[in-house]
Amino acid sequence: MTTIVTSPSTTAASQRFALVALVAGAIMIGCSPIFVRLSEVGLLTTAFWRVALAMVPLLIWSGATSGREEARERPITMRDRLELAVPGFMLAGDLVAWHISLHMTSVANATLLANMAPIFVTLGGWLLFRTRISTVFLVGLALSLAGVMILKGGFGALGGGDTRGDGLAIIAAMFYAGYMLSLSRLRSRFSTLTTMLWTTASAGVFILPLALFFETGFFPQTLFAWAILLGLAWMTHASGQGLIIYALAWLPPAFSSLTLLIQPVIAAILAWVVLGEQIGAMQAVGGIIVLIGILVARRG
């Protein structure tokens, strides 16, 4: 009888592929703000189509698995539906705040500050679940806050439209932290597919009335407009997140946090190439300090 084992070379190959998937996913997500800026429909409408069109590949995935994942779960009750809608509400708040911030401040600032979510995840865990906060985390938090001040040019530079946009990006990070915290309480009970379907669909339900009430021109009028929305939904929202989730199965979380470095850099480069946004020395230094603070805080 022949025994088949997984060789170290097979594991190494899988980790190399996971690294490629991690970088590719981070690059795809880094393209997200460019799609939002180029969208021909309103900011809230763009956020709605982002999650609505992302449902297409999720439903295809559901059909391909023929409900095998859901069959292993207990029946979903009304209370379960309400609990699964909580991360959907948080995701809706994150997308709405971040999409608006992208039109009030630079792409680099909005993307960088939105990546402060891990800090708020830790603070939220301490407030809600009494998770211990280490000294290393507090050092990372202080570094990030100092970096934000340098990013804005010091206290004297506070005020104006850019600061409001930066504030909305930080609010988006808070909503995303709520999204992650609420998901962490559900993932032990529901499959990845079930969680993604319910949260994505409920996010669309929360965003839709806002888009219809505050904006006009709900349906895109050109093929270019549809292409931008499809790229946002399928490339950045579905594929980008999917690749990173796959990579997390093979790579250590601490190493995977390097995606925090990749996403703002890709967004800043694309904003410079596509939108002509320049990055000053002060902004670069502040951004680097914020990223270092985020990585230190995650390690703590």
The pair of three-digit structure tokens given for residue 211, joined into one six-digit string: 């888009």
Residue-by-residue DSSP string for 161-185: HHHHHHHHHHHHHHHHHHHHHHHHT
Q: What pLDDT was estimated at residue 66?
A: 63
Q: How far apart are CA 178 and CA 236, in angstroms?
A: 21
Q: How far apart are CA 168 and CA 175, in angstroms?
A: 10
277 Rama class: left (phi>0) / alpha (psi -120 to 50) / beta: beta
Measured CA distances, 267 to 28, 109, 274 (Å): 10, 10, 10
Q: How far apart are CA 244 and CA 20, in angstroms?
A: 10
Neighbours of 184 (CB within 10 A): 13
Q: At what angle do helices 281-299 and 107-114 cross, to 10 degrees?
A: 10
Q: How far apart are CA 128 and CA 122, in angstroms?
A: 10
Is this structure's pTM higher than 0.85?
A: no
- Lowest-pLDDT range, 151-160, 162-171, 214-223, 239-248? 151-160
- Lowest-pLDDT range, 20-29, 57-66, 171-180? 57-66
Beta carbons of 280 and 153 less than 8 angstroms apart: no
Q: What pLDDT was estimated at residue 171?
A: 93
Beta carbons of 110 and 283 less than 8 angstroms apart: no
Summarised one tens digit per residue, pLDDT across range 20-45 is 888 888 889 889 999 999 999 999 99
The pair of three-digit structure tokens given for residue 91, joined into one six-digit string: 């995701």
Selection from 52-61, 114-123, 222-231 with the highest mean pLDDT = 222-231
pLDDT band at 1 (very low <50, low <70, confident <90, very high): very low
User: What is the Cα gyration radius of the chain?
Assistant: 20
Burial of 234 (0-12, 13-18, 19+ CB in 10 A): middle
Beta carbons of 95 and 47 less than 8 angstroms apart: yes
pLDDT band at 2 (very low <50, low <70, confident <90, very high): very low
Q: How far apart are CA 164 and CA 228, in angstroms?
A: 26
Q: How far apart are CA 172 and CA 83, in angstroms?
A: 21
Residue 113 scores a pLDDT above 80: yes
Percent of the chain topping pLDDT 70: 83
Domain boundaries, the chain: 43-299
Q: What pLDDT was estimated at residue 156?
A: 47
Beta carbons of 54 and 230 less than 8 angstroms apart: no
The one-letter amino acid at 11: T
Summarised one tens digit per residue, pLDDT across range 202-247 is 999 999 999 999 999 999 999 999 999 999 999 988 888 778 767 7
Summarised one tens digit per residue, pLDDT across range 11-22 is 777 778 888 888
pLDDT band at 260 (very low <50, low <70, confident <90, very high): low
Q: How far apart are CA 200 and CA 194, in angstroms?
A: 10
Residue-by-residue DSSP string for 28-64: HHHTHHHHHHH-SS-HHHHHHHHHHHHHHHHHHHHHH
DSSP structure class, residue 42: -
